[in-house]
Amino acid sequence: MCGTNSMGHSAAWKSPGVSGLPNVRVRSDNSHLMAAKDTVVIVLAAGKGTRLKSDLAKVLHPVGGRPLVAHVIRACLPLKAAQILAVVGFQADAVEAAVTPLGAETVVQNPQRGTGHAVQIARKAIRRSAKYAVVVPGDAPLLRTETLAALINTHRSGDAAATILSANLPDPTGYGRIIRKNDNSVAAIVEEGAASDEQRAIPEVNSSIYCFTLEKLWPCLAALKPENVHKELYLTDAIALLNERHERVLAVIAPDPNEILGCNTRESLADVDRIFRRRKASELMDSGVMIYFPETVIADADVTVGRETVIEPGVQLLGATKIGERCLIRTGSIIENSRIDDGVILDAYSVLVESRMAKGSRAGPFARLRPGADLREGARVGNFVEVKKSILHEGAKAPHLTYLGDATIGAGSNIGAGTITCNYDGVHKNPTTIGKNVFIGSDSALVAPVRIGDGAYVAAGSTITENVPADALGIARGRQVIKPGWAAARRREIAKAAKGHGKSAKRRKAKPRRARPRKKSSRRRR
């Protein structure tokens, strides 16, 4: 679906503010959230993710075009916690590179001895002022800020030592189950592997998202024992230990159970990605974008689309793509890190990477715009046209079957079908410069470096190796020769040969003998 790091896009037309903490965009409806200055957020991101059977650390796997852990941190940012601390371990450098631009600090857990051990390791990096810790796993990308804020509020107002975010799942398999007491507070979390049949039937699961009062948590963490199949220190065991100390543990049920979904397997990654895409499509439609068959449309997290734009089925909008208002993006098109201004038509099955289409320009069907393709106002490229690092100025057009690489095409110029800019000499890429209102006849090869002056013509079928001055005609092809009657004579010759062949075959049948080769008539001079 979204290829290799089709996710690790580069940044050509990236809007400012996509990376770097000061510019990180957060949802504007979070302005009411209070600053949680006495709170540290601990993101658990050290695990390998064995069940994915991948060479890439689990938290770096993409959903909605962003690594899992980046979604989690972005959901935490508006809480304005004093500190966001990511516990890293497996592929620590790569995970660190993903989280530090978002403003997180890191602490290394090596070896990784479980979720409880990860929080123990985090302790040394937590500032003294922190009273509460919000713990979030790095693999729950659908989590919303509002849900975290509600969790913190319940924790503070409920006088609890720990508050768990839970959810009722139709299929709770694989998750830890919440064991409630009669007074509705929580007695324990039981992991799937240790659960009885009766406990496995409980639909309420642990999200691995918690709010802890730190001074109550530390003694319980110190008491954790690796008494489970994996011989790990489970953070979930701290809940029973808090109960032993007569501390109160609450659980808040997430209003949308999808929010807590983790990504332990490829299938769960795909499920979560699907939910994310659907959410994004809904957001776009709420803002006035028309999306047909939205379940087939893929839009990455940072994509923006203007109102009244129509998106047809099977479109992929990837990376930091920005699309203006009143555009038509037709079926099957893939647009990555590109910018499309208002009123653009992109016809079916076109592929754009790091390209730009200005107001009223048009491309496709089957157009390929590679990095640096720049269609200015009203410019047009048609079917089977490939454009790389080239500008088509206002109103210029290349309607069919053309390659334009390292070229500048002046306003109003027309590039005929089958034109090729021969930009590569085997060593260097060379530029082609075409002036304004130029006419390039079909099937021309422009051997770069070469310049065609304003208003010039190039005759169809030319191989242009020298500059063509303004208003001149460049013609560079073999002269046509006419041979009157040649075709008719040829047909007569063929017919005669066929007749002769038929006669000799009959003779051979009557009296078999070795056929003598017929003497060829001398060829007519041409």
**112 near ligand UD1, rule: CB under 6 A:** yes
CB of 459 within 8 A of CB of 480? no
The Cα–Cα gap between 517 and 521 comes to: 12
Choosing among Mg ion, ligand UD1, none, which partner's interface includes residue 112 (Cβ < 5 to 8 Å by kind)? ligand UD1
Per-residue binding letters, 439-458, with ligand UD1 (x by CB under 6 A): --------------------
Region from 260-268, 286-294, 446-454, 473-481 binding Mg ion, contact rule CB under 5 A: 260-268
Per-residue binding letters, 217-236, with ligand UD1 (x by CB under 6 A): -----------------xxx
CA atoms within 13 A on the CB side of 176: 22
**71 near ligand UD1, rule: CB under 6 A:** no
DSSP 8-state code for residue 509: H
CB of 421 within 8 A of CB of 402? no
Choosing among Mg ion, ligand UD1, none, which partner's interface includes residue 115 (Cβ < 5 to 8 Å by kind)? ligand UD1
**91 near ligand UD1, rule: CB under 6 A:** no
Residue 264 or 463: the one with the smaller Cβ distance to Mg ion is 264
H-helix or E-strand containing 147?
helix 145-157
Residue 45 or 404: the one with the smaller Cβ distance to ligand UD1 is 45
The residue nearest Mg ion at its CB is 262
Per-residue binding letters, 14-53, with ligand UD1 (x by CB under 6 A): ------------------------------xxxx------
Distances (CA, A) of 8 to 65, 142, 293, 298, 318: 8, 20, 27, 16, 10
**Sign of dihedral through CA atoms 320, 321, 325, 331?**
negative
Residue 58 or 339: the one with the smaller Cβ distance to Mg ion is 58
User: Annotated catalytic sites, by residue?
Assistant: 400
Name which of residues 135 to 174 contact Mg ion (CB under 5 A).
139
Taking the complex as a whole, the smallest distance from the CB of residue 352 to Mg ion amounts, in Å, to 36
Distances (CA, A) of 373 to 115, 132, 380, 440: 48, 51, 12, 19
Tell me which of 14, 61, 113, 436 binds ligand UD1, using CB under 6 A.
Answer: 113
**138 near ligand UD1, rule: CB under 6 A:** yes
Per residue, what are the HEC states of 104-124?
A: CEEEECCCCCCHHHHHHHHHC
Choosing among ligand UD1, Mg ion, none, which partner's interface includes residue 206 (Cβ < 5 to 8 Å by kind)? ligand UD1
Name which of residues 262 to 291 contact Mg ion (CB under 5 A).
262, 264
Taking the complex as a whole, the smallest distance from the CB of residue 189 to ligand UD1 amounts, in Å, to 6
**163 near ligand UD1, rule: CB under 6 A:** no
In 61-141 the beta strands, taken as DSSP E runs, fall at 62-63, 66-67, 83-88, 105-108, 132-137
Compute how many residues bind Mg ion; rule: CB under 5 A.
Answer: 3
Choosing among ligand UD1, Mg ion, none, which partner's interface includes residue 44 (Cβ < 5 to 8 Å by kind)? ligand UD1
The residue nearest ligand UD1 at its CB is 176
DSSP 8-state code for residue 462: -
Choosing among ligand UD1, Mg ion, none, which partner's interface includes residue 189 (Cβ < 5 to 8 Å by kind)? ligand UD1
Taking the complex as a whole, the smallest distance from the CB of residue 47 to Mg ion amounts, in Å, to 8
**264 near ligand UD1, rule: CB under 6 A:** yes
Residue with structure tokens 């691995």?
Answer: 208
Residue 189 or 446: the one with the smaller Cβ distance to ligand UD1 is 189
**207 near ligand UD1, rule: CB under 6 A:** yes
The Cα–Cα gap between 332 and 335 comes to: 10
Residue 264 or 467: the one with the smaller Cβ distance to Mg ion is 264
Region from 109-117, 254-262, 402-410, 499-507 binding Mg ion, contact rule CB under 5 A: 254-262
The Cα–Cα gap between 408 and 467 comes to: 14
CB of 433 within 8 A of CB of 416? no
The Cα–Cα gap between 502 and 355 comes to: 65
Residue 469: strand, helix, or coil: coil
The Cα–Cα gap between 329 and 335 comes to: 10
Q: Which of 290, 286, 324, 288 is CA-nearest to residue 304?
A: 324
The Cα–Cα gap between 206 and 466 comes to: 73
**64 near Mg ion, rule: CB under 5 A:** no
> Residue-wise over 259-296: b if at least 16 C-beta within 10 A, else e?
bbbbbbeeebbeebbebbbebbbeebeeeebebeebeb
**117 near ligand UD1, rule: CB under 6 A:** yes
Residue 84 or 417: the one with the smaller Cβ distance to ligand UD1 is 84
**175 near ligand UD1, rule: CB under 6 A:** yes
**435 near ligand UD1, rule: CB under 6 A:** no
Name which of residues 182 to 201 contact ligand UD1 (CB under 6 A).
189, 191
Q: Which two tokens stand for residue 69?
A: 């852990």
CB of 457 within 8 A of CB of 435? no
Site residues (vs Mg ion, CB under 5 A): 139, 262, 264
**Which residues of the shown chain bind ligand UD1 in the complex (CB under 6 A)?**
44-47, 58-59, 87, 109, 112-115, 117-118, 137-139, 175-176, 189, 191, 205-208, 234-236, 262, 264
